[in-house]
Structure 1
Amino acid sequence: MHRPSPVKLLIILAASLLFTACSRQDIYETAIGFERSSAGLDAASVEVGNLDIAYLRNQEANTGDTIVMIHGFGANKDNWTRLAGYLTDDFNVYAIDLPGHGDSSKPLDIGYRLEDQAGYVSRILDALSIDEAHVMGNSMGGAIAALYAANHPDKVKSVVLFSPAGILEYESELVKLVMEGDNPLIPKQPGDFKRLMDFALEKEPFIPWPILGVMEERAIANREVNEVIFAAIRDAGFESDFRNAITRIKAPVLVIWGKEDRVINYRNGEIFVAAIPDAWLEVMEGIGHAPMLEAPEESAQLFRKFIGPTAE
């Protein structure tokens, strides 16, 4: 059982709001709220030290397991909304905005290495009284989820890594562009956000243009913190330490990768499953860097099959 896809209703909603002379910001807020509600989610926040952390959680708690979702670089908690819509009937979902992202605090003077961010996740989950969970992560969030699982084996039931960062044995189009001084993951001017979407996603979800415009404005406004975060990860020299760390993961791990991923080469999935004691790789044809966003229903099915009867 799951809630229906909100895409068609989102089109009607955006069109109707345009005729009521709402601002683009109003349309954005209404549409995002509609998507969350359709997925059975509400927005909330929690203080973690000096940080204000935003997150999404079930509108109605149930007796199922908890799932924690960790987004990628430059992204936010709403990257998980459409996947969550297929899971909130049976699981208690928490999709968090990492520091520096979404609606959470964005200080420039804290650590943003992968290890630092895994530490923030630990503090956030402690603040939310989450003692045990299935942990999902995409891209940078995948690497963070893997490190969290390695560091807290007693708190993780399973791990799902969607196109995780952390290992770059096989180069991608992004690596070549960054080396040439061009980073499509950090929008700087109008048009850059559409370029980012086209680059990162092979199967783009429908987003009405007023909403896309606000998303671009927010991404450009976050340029400075995004540059700080990207530099912290790039300069950390983490790969050998990361590879050693993931060998300590005790929970079963499912690695899901889109074969058309231009951000991180899907063949790096082979390195992940070779390093992690209990891991499987699922490669999705015709999908890019964010399988949970591009193919949410199939991603949910893979997760349910992966964890077995407890998903029923």
Structure 2
Amino acid sequence: MIWPWVLGGVALAVAAAPAIAEAMRMPVTTRRRSEAPGEIAELPGGATHYRWTGSDGDPVAVCIHGLSTPSYVFAATERSLARLGYRVLTYDLYGRGYSERARGAQGVDFFLRQLRELLRDQAVTGPLTVLGYSMGGQIAAAFAAEEASRVEALILIAPAGLVPAEKTESGWLWRAPLIGGWLTRVLGGIALRRELIENRSTPTVIPDFEDRQAAETRTRGYLPALLSSRRHLLAHASHGDHVRIRDHGTRVLAIWGAEDPVIPLAAMGKLASLNPRARHEQIAGAGHNLLQTHPAQVAEALRTFLAP
């Protein structure tokens, strides 16, 4: 009978679909990295794209981006920090932008290793101001908790790790144990691009923000990186890190979007309970993309917190 052969062929095609979909996406080649607007550090864990803004000799501020948007999300923020007298280091997390599609479970240790290797490569040994946005806020908090003696100030912008992120239409793709991985690799890009269209904003500093994000979904290794980070980092709370930060007495500023559909304002209350010393700034009318849509208000919050 032909049916067993047909069913076998269908099963084989289904099983091979994730690998085929990934193979069809654009790889991040050495030549492509050579065209990056910055530099490439060949770290033990893999090539990392980074950029310095500001003057040599100024105190160092490190900016850590979130789950899905590479370091260009700090286009306005790095300029604001430089005007405040900081030398600003931004970089692409593994799996995003021009950085390596490094192997391994993308939990907190995975990203802390990349950050420490980059700081070592760049000979950054003095005190730091660390700024983390969204998932980057969770990484920044972990770094500040473990490297308390190095961190003078911690700035969290719509940080993850305090309360569960709000569910999106495609959220079930990430949570389903087996089929979630298949759907993410095969259809995740389509789902994310649809969300970008439906939630299109009017950014003031990155006019082609949604187009650049859509291009990421067509890059090899990006969707598996998002899936791994969701499962190995964002699925876990960082409450203990904030308690250690509180106990050390590190200065903390948290900036929130009042209309954020991803990180609910309940996270602000949770941080306040874990670290009553933390300072909070809430930006009216801002959503999760507040770095692009409300750069002036973010800049003013940074100036008020950091100015001597």
TM-score by length of 2: 0.74
What whole-Å deviation, never above 9, does each CA across 1:79-109 have from its counterpart, x for those lacking one?
00122222324210101111111111012x3
Give the unaligned 5+ runs of structure 2: 1-31
Aligned to 1:19: none
Alpha-carbon contact 1:135-1:160 (below 8 Å) kept = yes
Q: 1:298 to 1:247 in 2, by over 3 A?
A: same
Supply the distance in 2 between the matched residues of 1:172 and 1:145 (Cα, whole angstroms).
Answer: 21
Alpha-carbon contact 1:255-1:273 (below 8 Å) kept = no
Supply the distance in 1 between the matched residues of 2:288 and 2:215 (Cα, whole angstroms).
Answer: 22
Supply the distance in 2 between the matched residues of 1:287 and 1:225 (Cα, whole angstroms).
Answer: 27
Q: Specify the code of the residue in structure 2 equivalent to 1:216.
A: A
Give the unaligned 5+ runs of structure 1: 1-28, 34-41
State which of 218, 221, 235 in structure 2 corresponds to 1:220. 218
Q: 1:85 to 1:73 in 2, by over 3 A?
A: same
State which of 75, 86, 94 in structure 2 corresponds to 1:81. 75
1:233 aligns with 2:228: no
User: SS of 1:85's equivalent?
Assistant: helix
What whole-Å deviation, never above 9, does each CA across 1:124-159 have from its counterpart, x for those lacking one?
222222222111011110000011000001111101
Aligned length: 260
Runs of 4+ in 1 over 6 A off after TM superposition: 180-183
User: SS of 2:262's equivalent?
Assistant: coil
Supply the distance in 2 between the matched residues of 1:198 and 1:273 (Cα, whole angstroms).
Answer: 33
Q: Specify the code of the residue in structure 2 equivalent to 1:293.
A: Q
Q: 1:212 to 1:283 in 2, by over 3 A?
A: closer
Q: Specify the code of the residue in structure 2 equivalent to 1:232.
A: H
1:144 aligns with 2:139: yes
Supply the distance in 2 between the matched residues of 1:192 and 1:166 (Cα, whole angstroms).
Answer: 22
Q: Specify the code of the residue in structure 2 equivalent to 1:86.
A: S
Q: 1:180 to 1:227 in 2, by over 3 A?
A: closer
User: SS of 2:153's equivalent?
Assistant: strand
Supply the distance in 2 between the matched residues of 1:289 and 1:48 (Cα, whole angstroms).
Answer: 31
State which of 240, 245, 259 in structure 2 corresponds to 1:244. 240
Supply the distance in 2 between the matched residues of 1:214 and 1:180 (Cα, whole angstroms).
Answer: 22
Measured after TM superposition, the shift of residue 202 of structure 1 is: 5.9
Supply the distance in 1 between the matched residues of 2:123 and 2:197 (Cα, whole angstroms).
Answer: 35
State which of 58, 66, 75 in structure 2 corresponds to 1:72. 66
Q: 1:190 to 1:155 in 2, by over 3 A?
A: same
Q: 1:276 to 1:125 in 2, by over 3 A?
A: farther
1:246-285 matches, within 5 Å, as: 246-249=242-245, 250=248, 251-276=250-275, 278-285=277-284
Measured after TM superposition, the shift of residue 303 of structure 1 is: 1.1
Measured after TM superposition, the shift of residue 274 of structure 1 is: 2.0
Measured after TM superposition, the shift of residue 178 of structure 1 is: 1.9
Q: Specify the code of the residue in structure 2 equivalent to 1:300.
A: A
Alpha-carbon contact 2:193-2:214 (below 8 Å) kept = yes
Measured after TM superposition, the shift of residue 190 of structure 1 is: 5.3
Aligned to 1:11: none
Supply the distance in 2 between the matched residues of 1:189 and 1:98 (Cα, whole angstroms).
Answer: 19
Q: Specify the code of the residue in structure 2 equivalent to 1:248.
A: R
Aligned to 1:302: 301
Supply the distance in 2 between the matched residues of 1:164 and 1:65 (Cα, whole angstroms).
Answer: 23
User: SS of 1:98's equivalent?
Assistant: coil
Measured after TM superposition, the shift of residue 180 of structure 1 is: 7.7
Aligned to 1:21: none
Aligned to 1:178: 171
Structure whose alpha-carbon radius of gyration is higher? 2
What whole-Å deviation, never above 9, does each CA across 1:186-240 have from its counterpart, x for those lacking one?
98345843623754x765346556x7545413223222332232222355xx32x
Alpha-carbon contact 2:75-2:205 (below 8 Å) kept = no
1:133 aligns with 2:113: no
Alpha-carbon contact 2:129-2:153 (below 8 Å) kept = yes
Alpha-carbon contact 1:163-1:257 (below 8 Å) kept = yes
Q: Percent identical across equivalent pairs?
A: 21
Q: Specify the code of the residue in structure 1 equivalent to 2:108.
A: L
Supply the distance in 1 between the matched residues of 2:105 and 2:98 (Cα, whole angstroms).
Answer: 18
Measured after TM superposition, the shift of residue 273 of structure 1 is: 2.5
